[in-house]
Structure 1
Amino acid sequence: MSWVGTGTPIPTSSTWSGASRSDRLRNARARRHVQYGTFARGRGGRMQARLLNTAPEKAEADALILPIFEGQSVPAEAVALDKKLKGAITQLLADHEFRGRFMELVPVHNLGNAPSKWTVLLGLGKPPELDLVRLRNALQAAGRVLRKRGHRRVTVILPKAVAATAGPADMARAATEGIGLSNFEAGSLKTRQEQALTEIDALSIIGLNGEKSAAAAVKDGLVLAEATNRIRGWVNAPANAFTPTVFVEKVKEAVKGTGLDLKVLEVDDMRRLKMGALLAVARGSDEPAKMIVLRYGGGRKGGPTLALVGKGITFDSGGISIKPAQNMEMMKSDMGGGAAVVGAMLAIAQLKPKLNVIGIVPTTENMPSGKAIKPGDVVTGSGGKTIEIINTDAEGRLILSDGITYAVNEGATHIVDIATLTGSIARTLGPLAIGAFGNNPPLMELVRRSADLAGERLWELPTWADYDGLIDSEIADIKNATVPWAGATTAALFLREFVDGRPWVHLDIAGSAWQDAAELKTVPRGPTGSGVRVMAHLAQLLADH
């Protein structure tokens, strides 16, 4: 990284802030509640955000973020700032010290020549390649770097060339979420930190002022980013600290004051409801299974009800069909779908769509023991279907089947299930996209639009009639595993058996829930909170629809 002052270039240094680490920690604590101007703040969140009608060279901040396309000169909106910085930005571009390549970051020390302390040039790559997914990723990466340097007050400048790539509301929401998502800290359990763990708590956005839709979108962005980060923390938690019982306690704490109704089904309730598939998976664990049920009543009585059903396997060993040891530690994240449902419901409670929504999370561990289900066993789900167990590591679809049946019995008119379900989808799409399957094109179109609004990539895969027969069993109604190919599709076909003909979409986030590929330099690594914002937007679109 080149370190640049407002006069002549400064050589590369290992320290960004002039303060020592102890000074930054002390200052971070003292400034934890910084406030200035009129900000929006999400419920329970620490970050505030606002649109700012101020010239960049007059903005007060720890750091200004100036996005620039590859090959672009100094944006017109930053010419006055560049002049105050004695042509430092122009010099960097002319000397090719900064080229605008995607996620390229070059900080410029303002040296007292502007109210802000630093100006950070952020590369956005080639204009045709920029979309709101990449914009969020770039801003999230920039925010992470700024946090490590102790910066709390950040201003994002959106030049017209950047702002024109989307509508004002979409741009405002993307900028807010991008910076908000950077506040997630994966190493929160470390007892010693090499760098100060600050959070960005004040965000200003220049370039969208006067747009009412943008101001509202900033508030929505705060809500969605906070819900996503909460769920990322849950997915990141070790399995010994996040059992089904702990999951329930976390949900109880999270829903306080939201207006959401919470019901928890215990093992005795599951037996009464004949949830044989969920109980079969839970048999191998000493941890009791739970089913979390959240309700939001924003629609008219008897009106459409959207059911969100998420897989909540808090640790997946594979059971008797045990997984290889390599990477098994990542199976702590197998409750990512269930967590996403809770995150979406928390966001929905604040966004207040005029729709009834029910969130259902069957949660258990999948463990081997003398009590565990075995390949060849047959179990009966709550809908009455008999299921032959071919592979105990295909447990997610089993617990989801009882969750979906519960949704049908509770009057759901539309069903979306979400799960870290198959290695097949991870091998097909990698960590970049959600795999989607469905039986209803209008609902699938709403899900696609929701993903666009959420800044998540989503790709529909087929459930052609040619696949029919793949889950047929010789001794039961269906089986839970089949041929070694089209694994994501056959899992979707299994789940389709339980929706009772209702409009349904299945979201497989086995790849997108956790970005662990070091080769993907343009996507922030770690738990992503995949699906939270998609489902929250879907509730809004379905209400409007």
Structure 2
Amino acid sequence: MTTSIATLDLIDTDPAELAVGAIVIGVYSQSPDAPAPLLLASGAESIAVAFDGRLVDTLVLLGATGATGEVTKMATLGTISAPLVVAVGLGPEPTGAMPSPETLRRATGNAVRALAGTPKIALALPVSEEPDGDVAALRALTEGALLGGYRFAAYKSTPARVAPVGAVSVHVPDAADKTFRAELKRAAAVARAVTQTRDWVNTAPNDLRPPAFATAVADAARKAGLTVEVLDEKALKKAGYGGIIAVGQGSEAPPRFVRISYSPSRGSRKKVALIGKGITFDSGGVSIKPAQGMWEMKSDMAGAAAVAATLLAVAELKPKVTVTAYVPIAENMVSGSAYRPGDVVAMYSGKKVEVLNTDAEGRMILADAIARACEDEPDYLLETSTLTGGQVIALGKRVAGVMGTPSLCARVQEAGDAVGEPAWPMPLPDDVRKGMDSEVADISQVNSAMDRAGHMLQGGVFLSEFVADGVDWAHIDIAGPSYNSGEPSGYLSKGGTGVPVRTLLELIDRIAAE
């Protein structure tokens, strides 16, 4: 089962008078020549008064430095209503500005995780007096709290001994303010979508093979009131989805293709297509992967999970834009019926693809989905996938690579920066495409001359061949950012991260406002 914060609300009561298990405040680090080694962030004023000026000195004695994300707990001994003050580091004090939303989001996630087992806590962290700043800070605090409290324990025989925080109250200037209430509602919808993505990614691959994943996605979408279409292997063959069929034919669990649609009741001006790679497990096929780390290939459907969950949030938030998700799902396995290097596959678009590496399977199923999505004539096409190890080599585990129409890539980058899911635009070089010319088909699946060089770019170049002329599109490679194999940090849990759900929702909001 998944565990997370049960309730989240807003309060405007004096934090020093709140009957909660802990009050979370922020502290800034100071330079060595500053009058004090720590500086309290806004929100902690009444608590500092209750401690009669001794709060900072006591935190320093306990080892607090204000370093970003550092958590220091201090017993209040009856000085305020809460038995515990928890100081979370916000790094150096920003000059004439609020801490960045991402700093607040990570700090809140760390604090909530450190307080696991506490029935109820309150956050008395900085919230700007400016309306726009209020929204950004509140969004960061609420998302950080909800996502930082996430735990996946579906396969534990006994419940965890320490439960997550039960309830979180966020201190704001006016808890009845309509803008604040709307942000609270939005944060809950976004967090549910991210959590659902994490749950699907973290599920064991034997429990989430293509038919089961398709059913789970379809059931969730129908429950949310969305329009759903599911194609099984017979329908896929009949319609000519050669890429999806080729990749899925090596598994006894046949492939699926799910289409999920949302249309606003009125006011829709734009159409957005979302596409996500749904490889429920990737052995590499005949071009088999090394055994080390292969278990993480259960996360190769993170793109599909993200776009499907994004539609669930869209159904709640109801933006004035038509959004459709296209989710190709297959399992890339080794068997006597698996597709082979040297095969030529007739794709949904009519192009013929020469297969050179069966481990480059994601682009095969995505190409079919992209071609199908373009038939619906979207204004914007956003595809996300754990496509290449080259993304991790080039940009690391936190920064996604984005390729496509330059203007839309820039918008993806801006949206990612706004929500703490960074992305970096990458090129689609002509020489990479030239090396994908095939002697026997329309295009080769990879550039054999380059081998692994520019592997991320090869994936983007291949996908570009299946985008219809005139469609603004972006390919977001999340091979690294979608899965955290290390320890929890900030609001990121171990395992699935939910990237890039929040980027997609931010983009949809911006497109709806055009």
TM-score (norm 2): 0.90
Please tell me whether the aligned partners of residues 135 and 183 of structure 2 are also in contact (alpha carbons under 8 angstroms).
yes
Amino acid at match of 2:510: L
Q: Which residue of 2 aligns with 1:264?
A: 230
The structural deviation recorded for 1:341 is: 0.4
Partners of 1:478 and 1:90 in 2: CA distance: 65
State which of 136, 141, 155 in structure 1 corresponds to 2:110: 141
Residues 46 and 172 from structure 1, CA distance in 2 versus in 1: closer, same or farther, beyond 3 angstroms? same
Q: How many correspondences in the alignment?
A: 498
Partners of 2:513 and 2:268 in 1: CA distance: 17
Partners of 1:377 and 1:456 in 2: CA distance: 38
Residues 79 and 103 from structure 1, CA distance in 2 versus in 1: closer, same or farther, beyond 3 angstroms? same
Residues 87 and 297 from structure 1, CA distance in 2 versus in 1: closer, same or farther, beyond 3 angstroms? same
State which of 265, 270, 276 in structure 1 corresponds to 2:242: 276
Partners of 1:358 and 1:531 in 2: CA distance: 16
The structural deviation recorded for 1:402 is: 0.6
Q: Which residue of 1 aligns with 2:414?
A: 449
2:19 corresponds to 1:50:
no
Q: Which residue of 2 aligns with 1:389?
A: 355
Cα offsets for 1:450-495 (capped at 9, x unmatched): 2233321111111244543132222111111122211111100111
Partners of 1:522 and 1:198 in 2: CA distance: 13
Q: Which residue of 1 aligns with 2:428?
A: 463
Q: Which residue of 1 aligns with 2:460?
A: 492
Secondary structure class of the residue paired with 1:468 = helix
Residues 94 and 532 from structure 1, CA distance in 2 versus in 1: closer, same or farther, beyond 3 angstroms? closer
Please tell me whether the aligned partners of residues 228 and 533 of structure 1 are also in contact (alpha carbons under 8 angstroms).
yes
Partners of 1:103 and 1:216 in 2: CA distance: 27
Amino acid at match of 2:118: H
Partners of 2:152 and 2:286 in 1: CA distance: 31
Please tell me whether the aligned partners of residues 73 and 93 of structure 1 are also in contact (alpha carbons under 8 angstroms).
no
Amino acid at match of 1:498: F
Please tell me whether the aligned partners of residues 107 and 490 of structure 2 are also in contact (alpha carbons under 8 angstroms).
no
* Pairing of 1:99-114 with structure 2 (within 5 A): 99-114=65-80
Cα offsets for 1:167-206 (capped at 9, x unmatched): 2111111110000002321333211355222343343233
Secondary structure class of the residue paired with 2:396 = helix
Please tell me whether the aligned partners of residues 26 and 44 of structure 2 are also in contact (alpha carbons under 8 angstroms).
no
The structural deviation recorded for 1:299 is: 6.8
Amino acid at match of 1:191: S
Cα offsets for 1:67-126 (capped at 9, x unmatched): 111123234642431343465522234437211111111111223332223211001112
* Pairing of 1:225-236 with structure 2 (within 5 A): 225-236=191-202
Please tell me whether the aligned partners of residues 371 and 466 of structure 2 are also in contact (alpha carbons under 8 angstroms).
yes
Please tell me whether the aligned partners of residues 471 and 493 of structure 1 are also in contact (alpha carbons under 8 angstroms).
no
Q: Which residue of 2 aligns with 1:539?
A: 508
Comparing 509-518 with 74-83, which one deviates more in the overlay?
A: 74-83
Secondary structure class of the residue paired with 2:387 = coil
Amino acid at match of 1:326: Q
* Pairing of 1:153-172 with structure 2 (within 5 A): 153-159=120-126, 167-172=133-138
Please tell me whether the aligned partners of residues 103 and 123 of structure 1 are also in contact (alpha carbons under 8 angstroms).
yes
Q: Which residue of 1 aligns with 2:56?
A: 90
Secondary structure class of the residue paired with 2:40 = coil
The structural deviation recorded for 1:414 is: 1.6
Partners of 1:225 and 1:544 in 2: CA distance: 22
Residues 164 and 434 from structure 1, CA distance in 2 versus in 1: closer, same or farther, beyond 3 angstroms? farther
Residues 413 and 521 from structure 1, CA distance in 2 versus in 1: closer, same or farther, beyond 3 angstroms? closer
State which of 161, 179, 182 in structure 2 corresponds to 1:195: 161
Secondary structure class of the residue paired with 1:57 = helix
Partners of 1:165 and 1:92 in 2: CA distance: 34
Secondary structure class of the residue paired with 1:124 = strand
Comparing 506-515 with 57-66, which one deviates more in the overlay?
A: 57-66
Secondary structure class of the residue paired with 2:81 = coil
The structural deviation recorded for 1:427 is: 1.5
Partners of 1:260 and 1:523 in 2: CA distance: 29
State which of 59, 64, 74 in structure 1 corresponds to 2:18: 59
Partners of 1:77 and 1:168 in 2: CA distance: 13
Partners of 1:69 and 1:229 in 2: CA distance: 30
Cα offsets for 1:479-537 (capped at 9, x unmatched): 11122211111100111111112110000000000122469899654321001111122
Secondary structure class of the residue paired with 1:499 = coil
Please tell me whether the aligned partners of residues 113 and 164 of structure 2 are also in contact (alpha carbons under 8 angstroms).
no
Secondary structure class of the residue paired with 1:344 = helix
Amino acid at match of 1:198: P
Secondary structure class of the residue paired with 1:69 = strand
TM-score (norm 1): 0.85
The structural deviation recorded for 1:257 is: 3.9
Partners of 1:211 and 1:59 in 2: CA distance: 20
Residues 301 and 401 from structure 1, CA distance in 2 versus in 1: closer, same or farther, beyond 3 angstroms? farther
Comparing 509-518 with 86-95, which one deviates more in the overlay?
A: 86-95
Please tell me whether the aligned partners of residues 184 and 233 of structure 1 are also in contact (alpha carbons under 8 angstroms).
no
2:180 corresponds to 1:214:
yes
Partners of 1:331 and 1:196 in 2: CA distance: 29
The structural deviation recorded for 1:239 is: 0.2
Secondary structure class of the residue paired with 1:135 = helix
The structural deviation recorded for 1:229 is: 0.8
Amino acid at match of 1:159: P
Partners of 1:523 and 1:302 in 2: CA distance: 34
Amino acid at match of 2:256: K
Q: Which residue of 1 aligns with 2:442?
A: 477
The structural deviation recorded for 1:413 is: 2.7
Please tell me whether the aligned partners of residues 50 and 204 of structure 1 are also in contact (alpha carbons under 8 angstroms).
yes
Partners of 1:200 and 1:456 in 2: CA distance: 27
Residues 88 and 323 from structure 1, CA distance in 2 versus in 1: closer, same or farther, beyond 3 angstroms? farther
State which of 47, 54, 61 in structure 2 corresponds to 1:81: 47
Partners of 1:439 and 1:77 in 2: CA distance: 43
Partners of 2:28 and 2:362 in 1: CA distance: 43
Partners of 1:222 and 1:270 in 2: CA distance: 36
The structural deviation recorded for 1:369 is: 0.5
State which of 308, 314, 324 in structure 2 corresponds to 1:358: 324
Please tell me whether the aligned partners of residues 193 and 312 of structure 2 are also in contact (alpha carbons under 8 angstroms).
yes
Please tell me whether the aligned partners of residues 397 and 491 of structure 1 are also in contact (alpha carbons under 8 angstroms).
yes
Partners of 1:136 and 1:128 in 2: CA distance: 16
Please tell me whether the aligned partners of residues 257 and 328 of structure 2 are also in contact (alpha carbons under 8 angstroms).
yes
Please tell me whether the aligned partners of residues 470 and 490 of structure 1 are also in contact (alpha carbons under 8 angstroms).
no
Secondary structure class of the residue paired with 1:196 = coil
Secondary structure class of the residue paired with 2:150 = coil
2:338 corresponds to 1:372:
yes
2:208 corresponds to 1:242:
yes
Secondary structure class of the residue paired with 1:73 = strand
Identity of matched residues, %? 33
Comparing 200-209 with 526-535, which one deviates more in the overlay?
A: 200-209
Residues 520 and 54 from structure 1, CA distance in 2 versus in 1: closer, same or farther, beyond 3 angstroms? closer
Q: Which residue of 2 aligns with 1:506?
A: 475
